[in-house]
Amino acid sequence: MGVLVIAEHDNATLAGATLSAITAAVRLDDAVQVLVAGHGCRAVAEAAARVQGVSLVRHSEAAHYARPTAEDLAALVVDLAADFTYVLAPASTFGKNFLPRVAAILDVAMISDLIRIEGPDRFVRPIYAGNAVATVQSTDPIKVVSVRATAFDAAPSGATAVPIEALEAKPHSDLAEVLAEQLTQSERPELTAAEIVVAGGRGMGSAEGFRLLEEIADRLGAAIGASRAAVDAGYVPNDYQVGQTGKIVAPKLYIAVGISGAIQHLAGMKDAKVVVAINKDEAAPIFQVADYALVADLFQALPELGAELKRVLAK
Amino acid sequence: MKILVPVKRVIDYNVRVRVKADGSGVETANVKMSMNPFDELAVEEAIRLKEAGRVEAIVAVSIGAPACRETLRTALAMGADRALLVTTESELQPLDVAKVLKAVVGQEAPELVIMGKQAIDDDCNQTGQMLAALLGWGQGTFACGVALAEDSVTVTREIDGGNQTVRLKLPAVVTADLRLNEPRYIKLPNIMKAKQKPLQSMTVQELGVEVAARLKTLQVSEPPPRRSGVKVSSVAELVDKLHNEAKVL
């Protein structure tokens, strides 16, 4: 009966997290359809049609899908869902918002934050801020699942495209209306997709302190992350937050600077391949998960690191 | 207007949880429990709306074992007006909780439900959305700002790229994110006063809700441990190791 993947996109490009969800979908069933609902998003549907493993793209256009509300998106998805065994979306704020609504209307349980598939009805997900993992078995006819993007590689794109089928939009619900969006502008790679993440905590001391990190990030082509303490102190915007309640990252290299390493922060980064911690407190819990630990004052270490990187990367 | 605030009793956020040896779950015996931090934010927000003169009554509700009474007393001490305990023997999953809450909403007829965006134990982030769906109400998830108007509520939401503002027709469900507010410190006289506030108790059966866990937990295990790292003595050594040993630069 196949898998329906709901694409996350900004009407211009397909979000990387969607590609990870497609990889999970392909492992569940070989009939994978992607729903692209948006406004002026033909290019996104065409990109989805070229992703390997996808057999059909459903494309729904409406002005109210430009930034769809959970109410509108759930109504569209629920109507399609009856034909599928699985309904998947990325476990981003996009997927977390509408997917439980879909599950409840279908009267099925939902599996949040899938990190491993153990069978057609067996799924592994983290609980307790990633301090335990649970294997759950679903007894529902339709399995509604959000997929943790960092746990699955992005599905590759090929040259051949599968058909795109138009899907009629549902009328706009008057329950909710998107009034505005304020997005953080950044030239740097997107935090959840970056190969290298440089993150700062309360130890950075100020927004100015974060400039030191920006220099390192720019030299490495890295994204910048932050602990909750740094966000609450107003050093950086809240969408920089890495952790249980922020973003989950699993880059090749994670450099934690002035971050103590509370349980809630570790939940968001401990699957990074290599973790570096720079902290002046030798007892900081971050050192327990760090592959390379440097006990040093960050205001001395960071300029040195910048100079050293310049020297090594120039080679 | 009346606000309903669901609160959950969970293992305290500072506790390092231990997985049981038989893989059936995590150890909860003799472990410090407290109100789910996101629910605290929800209670605080409801109180602030009441203090702003827009709200007449705040009803806190918790579902679970009799020990959830403690959590409700905390909500009352913060400033909720009365509390409801819905007892059950079984461990409820978000869909069940949403169904129980729907029945409570049917009895209480609140115009707004404010709850945490997720519980820090199951990390599901589902119940608020499911409740909104079952009621056919609008939802404002991951709220960092809430403004009440006559027949609508405007919610600023934390989304991956920044913030989004949505306007919801009332009644509606709002789920609280960390930056919504700073919960107040509970003073001793308020704890004493909370003991006089009404706390009504009923069972899931009395509410007429059938609960049936659809997800079966087969196993709970420890995540793979990270191998212990090495200490470097200088920035130069660090960069050298990243470059030549880990080969990530």
C-alpha A309/C-alpha B243 separation (Å) is 10
Would you state the pLDDT for residue B123? 97
Question: Closest chain B residue to A294 measured between Cα atoms?
Answer: B232
- Note whether A224 and A217 are within 8 A (CB): yes
Q: What is the CATH number of the domain that holds A295?
A: 3.40.50.1220
Do A10 and A117 reside in the same domain of the chain?
yes
Q: Does B249 fall in a domain?
A: no
Residue A11 structure tokens: 């009407």
Residue numbers in the known binding site of A are 202, 227-228, 241-245, 258-265, 279
Do A75 and A154 reside in the same domain of the chain?
yes
The residues that bridge with A34 in the sheet, in sequence order, are A5, A57
Residue-number span of the structural domain to which B111 is assigned: 2-221
What are the helix (H) ranges across chain B? Answer: 37-51, 68-78, 94-108, 127-135, 188-194, 235-240
Q: At what angle do helices A93-106 and B94-108 cross, to 10 degrees?
A: 70
Q: Does B157 fall in a domain?
A: yes
For residue A102, the chain B residues in CB contact (below 8 A) are 133
C-alpha B195/C-alpha B77 separation (Å) is 8
Q: Does B104 fall in a domain?
A: yes
CB atoms near residue A63 (< 10 Å): 9
- Whether residues B163 and A253 touch (CB distance < 8 A) is answered with no
Residue A314 structure tokens: 């120039």
Do A148 and A254 reside in the same domain of the chain?
no
Residue numbers in the known binding site of A for FAD are 202, 227-228, 241-245, 258-265, 279
Quote the minimal CA–CA distance from A189 to chain B in Å. Answer: 12
Residue of A281, A308, A310, A313 to mutate when probing chain B, most B C-beta within 10 A = A308
C-alpha B95/C-alpha B87 separation (Å) is 16
Q: DSSP assignment, residue A202?
A: G
Question: Closest chain B residue to A186 measured between Cα atoms?
Answer: B161
Do A111 and A220 reside in the same domain of the chain?
no
CA distances from A200 to A240, A298, B21, B179 (A): 10, 10, 36, 18
Do A149 and A11 reside in the same domain of the chain?
yes
Q: Of A217, A203, A233, A215, whose CA–CA distance to A297 is shortest?
A: A203
pLDDT digits (tens, 9 = 90+) for B142-189: 999 999 999 999 999 999 999 999 999 999 999 999 999 999 999 999
Tens place of pLDDT per residue across chain A (315 aa)? 899 999 999 999 999 999 999 999 999 999 999 999 999 999 999 999 999 999 999 999 999 999 999 999 999 999 999 999 999 999 999 999 999 999 999 999 999 999 999 999 999 999 999 999 999 999 999 999 999 999 999 999 998 999 999 999 999 999 999 999 999 988 999 999 999 999 999 999 999 999 999 999 999 999 999 999 999 999 999 999 999 999 999 999 999 999 999 999 999 999 999 999 999 999 999 999 999 999 999 999 999 999 999 999 987
Do A24 and A153 reside in the same domain of the chain?
yes
Do A61 and A112 reside in the same domain of the chain?
yes
Coil/strand/helix, residue B5: strand
Q: What is the CATH number of the domain that holds A17?
A: 3.40.50.620
Q: What is the CATH number of the domain that holds B193?
A: 3.40.50.620
Q: Does B235 fall in a domain?
A: no
Do A13 and A140 reside in the same domain of the chain?
yes
Do A159 and A228 reside in the same domain of the chain?
no
- Whether residues A181 and B19 touch (CB distance < 8 A) is answered with no
- Whether residues A128 and B11 touch (CB distance < 8 A) is answered with yes
- Note whether B142 and B154 are within 8 A (CB): no
CB-closest option in A96, A304, A309 to B125: A96
Residue-number span of the structural domain to which A26 is assigned: 3-167
Q: Does A181 fall in a domain?
A: no
Average pLDDT, integer, range B116-128:
98
CA distances from B145 to A175, A240, A287, B165 (A): 18, 18, 35, 9
Q: How many domains does chain B have?
A: 1
Q: CB-side exposure of A9: number of CA atoms within 13 Å?
A: 26
Where does a domain end: A167, A185, A214? A167
Question: Closest chain B residue to A174 measured between Cα atoms?
Answer: B169
Q: Does B139 fall in a domain?
A: yes
The residues that bridge with A178 in the sheet, in sequence order, are B166
Q: Does A123 fall in a domain?
A: yes
Do A205 and A124 reside in the same domain of the chain?
no
CB-closest option in A92, A140, A301 to B160: A92
- Note whether A306 and A298 are within 8 A (CB): no
How high is the mean pLDDT of chain B? Answer: 96
B54 pLDDT tier (thresholds 50, 70, 90): confident
Q: How many domains does chain A have?
A: 2
Residue A170 structure tokens: 């549902």
For residue B166, the chain A residues in CB contact (below 8 A) are 69, 176-179
Q: Does B145 fall in a domain?
A: yes
pLDDT digits (tens, 9 = 90+) for B187-221: 999 999 999 999 999 999 999 999 988 999 999 99
- Whether residues B126 and A112 touch (CB distance < 8 A) is answered with yes
pLDDT exceeds 80 at position B246: yes
Do A121 and A9 reside in the same domain of the chain?
yes
Would you state the pLDDT for residue A1? 84
CB-closest option in A133, A178, A239 to B162: A239
The residues that bridge with B184 in the sheet, in sequence order, are none
Q: Strand ranges (DSSP E) for B24-97?
A: 33-35, 57-64, 82-87
CB atoms near residue A264 (< 10 Å): 22
CB-closest option in B142, B166, B216 to A139: B216
Q: Does A175 fall in a domain?
A: no
- Whether residues A239 and B17 touch (CB distance < 8 A) is answered with no
For residue B167, the chain A residues in CB contact (below 8 A) are 176-177, 179
- Whether residues B232 and A270 touch (CB distance < 8 A) is answered with no
- Note whether A230 and A200 are within 8 A (CB): yes
Quote the minimal CA–CA distance from A3 to chain B in Å. Answer: 19
- Whether residues A183 and B161 touch (CB distance < 8 A) is answered with yes
Do A33 and A92 reside in the same domain of the chain?
yes
Residue of A197, A282, A292 to mutate when probing chain B, most B C-beta within 10 A = A292
For residue B122, the chain A residues in CB contact (below 8 A) are 127
Q: Does A174 fall in a domain?
A: no
